[in-house]
Structure 1
């Protein structure tokens, strides 16, 4: 249930960002906007992964 909610949130945010991009620029820049979103997602995923590794190492040394 929560997974579907975040999926719908992502769809709506993507549509909103796409419409804002098209409002201020041409359709040629839509791909660049999508690429920036992909890079942001990769950075966020990598940083969350690093944080989880640090937390797990801390839990192992504390036990």
Structure 2
């Protein structure tokens, strides 16, 4: 479940922003530009898998 699905509606006075990012060769590349809305990339999951935490938790 994504974070935005767990939060109440933001309302008119609050907006969501994220840092623009793309995936290049399986790794996140950040533009460091703010973009309105929620990121649909699962960067945390990519980094988690990259350092082997998924294997550690399965053992």
Q: TM-score, normalised by structure 1?
A: 0.30
More helix by share: 1
Flag the structure with higher strand content: 2
TM-score (norm 2): 0.30
Instruction: Name which structure has the greater RCO, CA cutoff 8 Å, separation 6+.
Output: 2
